[in-house]
Chains A and B, each alone.
Chain A
Amino acid sequence: DTAVSQTPKYLVTQMGNDKSIKCEQNLGHDTMYWYKQDSKKFLKIMFSYNNKELIINETVPNRFSPKSPDKAHLNLHINSLELGDSAVYFCASSPSVTRWETQYFGPGTRLLVL
């Protein structure tokens, strides 16, 4: 009965590859997010997605693209992976864009780019 789940838990890949991380929430929430946590534990929001409206933070390269097949899923696609993409990526969800102040986080996907 996991609330927010992510797969895979670990991902090791070569530079230049394209990879995807999946996220699913079973909370019935309308809004989902992707965060990046770097090696210094610094956490930054990358995207928020609500009812087909995507808000992208300016600093996120366009190699990153979230895709939502339905309300319960928000997958993260990364093209042409770079060394600096190595980080832990967290998916999160909140009830709605107006009730966003309580976010539920997934366990994270640890991405290592070699």
Chain B
Amino acid sequence: AQSVTQLDSQVPVFEEAPVELRCNYSSSVSVYLFWYVQYPNQGLQLLLKYLSGSTLVKGINGFEAEFNKSQTSFHLRKPSVHISDTAEYFCAVSPPNNNNDMRFGAGTRLTVKP
């Protein structure tokens, strides 16, 4: 079965600074990869997903992630963060043929300071 590790539980950054949230996965088969964002007291919102094709995936709110098969990573990046990006970010992995086996990481709390 696949699993996800988010290496940083908390990432504090200053406004307009770049940020990278790290995600590594393990799987013996090909996978789909996702990043979700959860704002306080809200549900999860899909930021971006990698299914196949180009390894650089662009998502909403200026985020992007790069799938690196050799390093089994799918790190999320944004060149300049805003206060409004403060939220919990979840990386998730799933086998392509099973919608009932999505595994989430423990989350990374991004705090953007003025």
A residues whose Cβ falls under 8 Å from a Cβ of B: 4, 31, 40-45, 47-48, 50, 55, 57, 90, 92, 94, 97, 100-108
Contacts and interface: CB of A to CB of B under 8 A. Distances in A.
Nearest to B96: A101
Interface of B: 32, 34, 36, 41-46, 49, 51, 88, 90, 94, 99-102, 104, 106-107
Contact of B107 (A41, A50, A92, A101): A41
B45 A48 contact: no
Given A48-B100, A57-B100, A40 B106 contact: yes
Contacts of B106: 40-42
Given A41-B107, A45-B102, A48-B99, A101 B44 contact: no
Contacts of A97: 99
Contacts of B90: 43
Given A40-B106, A41-B107, A42-B106, A106 B100 contact: no
A42 B107 CA distance: 7
A94 B100 CA distance: 12
A48 B44 CA distance: 17
